[in-house]
Amino acid sequence: MPGHDGGVRLEATSWERLTDARADRIGKLTAADGGPWLRVAIDGAPTAHPEGLAARLAEVLRIRGRSVQTVRLSPDGLAAASRNVFGISVSRSTVLRLVEALPDPQPRIPRVVGVDEYAMRKSRVYGTVLVDIETGRPVDLLPDRESATLAAGLSERPGIEVICRDRAPFSAEGARTGAPTALQVADRFHLWRNLGESTERCVSRHRACLRAPFTVPPREPSKAPQAADKLSTSPWPTGNRFADRTREKHTIVHALLAEGHSRRAKRDYHMKGTDVASRSWELKSGDITLGTLSLIDIDQPWFRCHFTPGEGWQQVRELFEAQAEAVDSGDQGRMIEAIAAIRNLPLRLHPQDGDETITPVMIQIRGDKANFRY
């Protein structure tokens, strides 16, 4: 019955079901198409008593009408969960139908749009997202990140005034083509990044103008003058039984070598050949060193003066014979190791006297090896 004072539009009523005591619980209410009316749909009603039907529904519509309007004006969320909050004693399916019947809200034309890319499959498929900067809501999702697609998406929204984008080339070209009158600005991340890079370049350029921070050295408590401890290059502590035993063997081996005995004299002192070999190669200063010293450590300047790169086994043998009397060489293999160590030393370029030119160096890197060309 259109035009009723209560704002009710009746369609296909059922008088028998309304006379039931639970008539206020079986009515189906749906929101009208965006208007102020409510449409009550009850199956199979007679048309002989429309006034009585409207009077019978007055109390039901008063309660149900407020419920439907509350649902229609409620914020987004789960409709079935919201019915308990708003006091709606209907099923969840009814509330869902009410919400689905509402017209979709008309999207506002954004004024400031942010353009960025998103990955549907990382490193495989990328798209473009448009976001309303003022509201923080997404506006549209474009299927790819091509400039033509972005230009088409921006041209459909003529009210865009500002485009916030990154440094991607497709974003610049698409924004210039799709919205030529819009102002293009950098996003927040790139603004901070540009500021940081500019500050770093400025500080590096004027580093000489900066002063080193001055810190007051802390005061140390005054100590009574003590006698200087005896300096020792030995890494082993004094008073340790292992260190004392090693020092004792060290002294015995060097005493035997000083008297001209061979290394076979170790049999008289029940020592191993490795102990005698290692002790004999140590310096004769009385201190125990870490590891053994080779000929290159004992007389390195002599080797550098007499060794010529490029020579072969003959020069190694001559060096071995020349140093046999000066140094207790032990065997010729250690001499060969010393020569190999000298060959592996980096080449140092010493310019001639009065020559102040700079020699260019080309570096060619292949894998983990580098070749130098002068």
- Phi/psi at 287 (5° precision): -105, 150
What pLDDT, in 10s, does the model give residues 61-118?
555 555 544 444 444 445 545 555 555 566 778 878 888 888 877 778 889 999 998 8
Contacts for 171-174 with beta carbons within 8 Å, 24 or more apart?
A: 171/115, 171/147, 173/147, 174/115, 174/146, 174/147, 174/148, 174/149, 174/150
DSSP code of 364? Answer: E
CATH fold of 112-191: Nucleotidyltransferase; domain 5 (3.30.420)
The model's pTM: 0.33
Angle subtended at Cα 318 by Cα 313 and Cα 319, rounded to the nearest 5 degrees: 100
pLDDT at 317: 62
What pLDDT, in 10s, does the model give residues 264-302?
Answer: 665 566 666 666 655 554 434 444 444 444 444 445 555
Angle, CA 180 vertex, CA 158 and CA 149 arms, to 5°: 75
d(C-alpha 260, C-alpha 271), whole Å: 18
C-alpha span between 31 and 34 (Å, rounded): 7
All structural domains of the chain with their residue ranges: 8-101, 112-191, 241-280, 295-343
What does the pLDDT look like over 37-73, one tens digit per residue? 344 444 444 444 445 545 555 555 555 555 544 444 4
83 Cβ neighbours under 8 A, 6+ residues apart: 71, 90, 92, 95
Give the strand pairing for 138-142 and 125-132.
antiparallel
Per DSSP bridges, beta strands 362-366 and 183-186 are: unpaired
Angle at alpha carbon of residue 190, lines to 189 and 196, rounded to 5°:
95
